Structure 1
Amino acid sequence: MLVRDAMSTMVLTIGPAHTLRQAARLMSARRVGAAVVLDTDTSGLGILTERDILNAIGADRNPDLETADAHTTKDIVFAAPTWTLAEAAEAMTRGGFRHLVVLDDHGPVGIVSVRDIIRCWTPAHLGV
């Protein structure tokens, strides 16, 4: 099974100036655990996850003042839609993270999470 078969195609994209509260509200409303942060000034992509927001609040950062940019992981590993789920799982394990932004030639097309991979590897999904 390939990443394109497991990934969520609902990619929440936010800007670096979004506050953590705004990001959390958008993520909650869309029921996603990560947002792609697109900086149009640098054409850079990053990722902001639930854990990033949780860590910021746990460190007494004000979610109404802290921006996504200050908590975005910018040196991210991207997956291709044609990767196998094993390749994606290996990249996540090696990097110690739970989400991969999936890119094709035109930009982000999805996000694959550990949960997506596990769902695909369970007997109920496999029809066993």
Structure 2
Amino acid sequence: MLVRDAMSTVVLTIGPTHTLRQAAQLMSARRVGAAVVLDPDTCGLGILTERDILNAVGAGLSPDTETAQRHTTTDVVFAGPRWTLEEAAAAMVHGGFRHLIVQDGGIPAGVVSVRDIARCWAEHGTAGVRIPGRTLTPAGSVPDPTIDRV
């Protein structure tokens, strides 16, 4: 399966001056876990996730005064719509993140999350899916005892 089959085409775009509370409210209303942060002044593109907001609030920062700009990840890994789900999952594992912005022709076309990938694999099976260091087995099958479990 491909990223385009799993991604959400609802791309929430916010500006760098949105407060964390505003971003959280928009994410909640649209039932998404990430927002693309677009800075029209610099043409910069980044991602703000629910984890970024949680970490800021957990550190005692005010969601009413903290802005998206201060908590946006700008060193973004972009996926292509024709990436396999295995490639997207491997990129997430390698980078330690749960969302990828999907670009098509340099334009954000969607966002794919760990949840999206898990949903696709649950609905369509995982037979033959290989991620470096892991093997996924179909539900109800016997796990491979030679694989280390984390």
TM range (shorter): over 0.9
SS at match of 2:18: coil
Matches for 1:58-69 after TM superposition, within 5 Å: 58-69=58-69
Q: TM-score, normalised by structure 2?
A: 0.82
Instruction: Select the structure that is richer in helix.
Output: 1
Question: How far is 1:106 from its partner?
Answer: 4.6
Are residues 1:97 and 2:97 paired? yes
**Partner in structure 1 of residue 20 of structure 2:** 20
Amino acid at match of 1:3: V
Structure with bigger RCO (C-alpha 8 Å, 6+ apart): 1
Name the structure 2 match of 1:71.
Answer: 71
Shift of 1:126: 1.7
- Counting matched residue pairs gives 126
CA distance in 2, matches of 1:13, 1:6: 19
> What stretches of structure 1 move > 4 A for 4+ residues in a row?
none
Higher-Rg member (1/2): 2
SS at match of 2:25: helix
Aligned to 2:147: none
The equivalent of 1:34 in structure 2 is 34
SS at 1:63 equivalent:
coil
Cα distance, 1:5 vs. partner? 0.4
The one-letter code sitting in structure 1 at the alignment partner of 2:48 is: L
SS at match of 2:35: strand
Gaps of 5+ in 1: none
Gaps of 5+ in 2: 126-137, 139-150
State whether structure 2 residue 120 is matched by structure 1 residue 120. Answer: yes
